[in-house]
Amino acid sequence: MVVQANGLRRKSTPNFILGYTDTETVKLDLDNMSFQRVKYWALGTAKRFRLRGFIILKSSKNSYHVVFDRPVSWIRNVAIVAWVCLMTKHRRLTEWLIMQCIKQASTLRISAKKEKQSPMVIYHHGKQSQQIRDFLHYRKLIQTIMRRLARAR
């Protein structure tokens, strides 16, 4: 609860966004791109770098997240995402990559954000027994916590 300095007058709803951060999971944050183009680049990336499989989540209209299954080192992770940036010439993905490099780990949103709902899985391809399994487990845990918090209000 946030209060004014002179007493308990107003409550404000906490405004926080929860995400999944690690260094081993190759992730892409693709905004302003069609689903077909996202799928094309996800398939090509998975094949070229032997990433086993991937899921695509829709985060908002024409905005998608991709999570790949095979764990890699942070250096390899950055190299893979940089390759996608170069090949797609996607400015927003390049900006996202630079931010992840500054943080030295990559993050994708899991919770709702302002008017945007939680990203929803809309496509899966190949194996999903490693990083995707871990991502989906964490995502489910966060969504359960968020539902319980919403009921408690």
pLDDT band at 128 (very low <50, low <70, confident <90, very high): very high
Residue 14 has which token pair? 């906490």
Q: Are 30 and 109 in contact (CB under 8 A)?
A: no
pLDDT-above-90 percentage for the chain: 75
Does the predicted TM-score (pTM) go above 0.85? yes
**DSSP-assigned letters across all residues of 36-79:** HHHHHHHHHHHHHTT--EEEEEEEETTEEEEEESS---HHHHHH
Q: Backbone phi, then psi, for 129, in 5-degree steps?
A: -105, 0
| Helix H or strand E segment including 148 | helix 131-152
Distance between CA 15 and CA 36 in Å, rounded? 33
pLDDT at 12: 56
Residue pLDDT, tens place only, 12-61: 566 678 899 999 999 999 999 999 999 999 999 999 999 999 999 999 99
Residue pLDDT, tens place only, 68-92: 999 999 999 999 999 999 999 999 9
The one-letter amino acid code at 57 reads L
Residue 51 has which token pair? 């990433």
pLDDT band at 4 (very low <50, low <70, confident <90, very high): very low
Instruction: Share the mean pLDDT of the chain.
Output: 90
Q: Is the pLDDT of residue 3 over 70?
A: no
Q: How many helices (H) and strands (E) does the chain have?
A: 4, 6
